Structure formats: C-alpha cells, structure tokens
Amino acid sequence: MTKDIVFGQYYPASSFIHKLDPRLKLFAVLVFIVSVFLCDIFYAYAACYAFLLIVILVSRVPILSVLKTIKAVLFIVFLTAVLNIFFYKEGNVFWEWEFLRITDEGLLYAAKMALRIIFLVVSTSMLTFTSTPMALTDGMESIMKPLKIIRFPVHDVAVIMSTALRFIPTLLEEVNKIVMAQKARGAHFDNGGLVKRAKALLPVLIPLFVSTFRRADELALALDARCYNATPNRTKMKPLHFSWRDLVAFFCLAAFLTIIILLKLGFFGLV
C-alpha cells in the first residue's frame, strides 16, 4: 500500500550534492520553489526540468526512487489538472456542457499546474535524499539563529521539524505492516463505496495512533536518558562550514535564477 512512498528517506552516497552545506541546500530549494512559481512559459519549465535533472544525476540518487516520489502524488496531480481543465474559462472553447468547459488555455494551465506540483515534490524530496536528518536540523537551526534575539526556541523547533520529517517513512512502513496484518485476518480495504472504505480504515488508524504515541514516548525517554538539551550552548560534532563546492553551487543557482527571471521578462523573445 505504502511501500513505494520514499519521501523523507535519506539515500547515502558520496556525491557533490551530498557534500554541500545543508544551509545552502535549504536556500536552493527555496529559490527553486520561487523559480517554479515565476514560470509562465514552457521554456521556463524546461529550464526547471533541466536544472532538476542535472541535480538528480549529479547526486547519484536512483531515478526509480525519484519516480516513486512522483507516484505518491499522482492523484493530487491528476485531480489538480482535471479541475483546471474543466473550470478554467479563458481561451478558445473545444467542448462545453452546462458549467463544464474545456479550452486551449485551460489545457495549458492544467499542464503548468501539474508540472509545478511535480517539480515541488521532487525538489523537496531531493533535499531529504541528499541530507541526513541531523544535517537538516543543524542547517535549519543555523538559518533561524537570528530569531534567538526574541527568545524564539530555535533549536527545539529545528529538532521537531527534523524529527517529523525523519518519521514520515517510518510511519508509512508501520501503516504498511498494519494493513498487511489486517488483510491476513480477512480485512478488505478496496471493496465497497467511499463510506465502507473509510470504516475499513479504522482498524488501521487505531493501532497506528497507539504505535505513534509509543514511538514518541520512547524517543522522549531516549533523549532524556542522554541529557539532551541539558545545556544552553550545545557543541556540534560536525560544525557547518562553506567550502568551494558551496561556492560553485551558489553560482550555478544564481545562473539558473537569472535565466528564469530573463525568461519571465521576455528577454529572449520566447513565448
């Protein structure tokens, strides 16, 4: 049921992307997301696709793992595309029935929205594929460090976000085990209408909640046993520092953003 969902998992490798500073990777994901929303022509989407493909190839993350992240959101992509196809009113009408209408502009807009969702999912997945939970925690804490001036619990928030991200694949694996156990006892999750399927999920949700609270309690006890956060100034086993790789990646990111902005402004005369 959920064995193909790989979002939140870390893929160990010794690539150029893996060795980048996590702060730069967080910043790069933010810049890429902004760039995706700046795109309004397919040439810009092609630039985003090329940039993302290069990152995937350089990171040495298997293409199959990346495709699995897309598979997990195919329903959302399909639903978004269908809604935009039938309810986008501008453009030349191809087909119309009562309040439903299919136009050429609607088809183009649906394709753009689908690409946006796919790019957003893949880019954030690449962040988790190439960064350990501890590295993401240190990176988020470093970025949010100025908030300490207003007594914001930066470290606690970074740990909570990183832990939640890390437990996504664990919980999905737990759901898969519970579903398989319930199927072995004769449960059916794919038969009947929507209400019947929702009721069939109750035997899955209750053990999942119990298991989640148990894991949270065990994690809290483990952190307490190791005197976690016992001192206000914790040291880092691997201090973050920028290297020549980060400089090269920053200039590549700046070049990519420049291309997107120029395409947005119509500098190349492309439409």
Domain boundaries, the chain: 8-131+242-271, 135-240
Stated pTM of the model: 0.77
Q: Which of 40, 32, 30, 31 is nearest to 263 (CA)?
A: 40
Q: What is the mean pLDDT of residues 156-170?
A: 76
Q: What integer pLDDT is reported at residue 12 of this predicted model?
A: 86
Rounded to whole angstroms, the Cα distance separating 51 from 122 reads 12
Specify the higher pLDDT residue, 236 or 208. Answer: 208
pLDDT of res. 80? 85
Chain segment 30-68, per-residue pLDDT in tens: 999 999 998 888 889 999 999 999 999 999 998 888 888
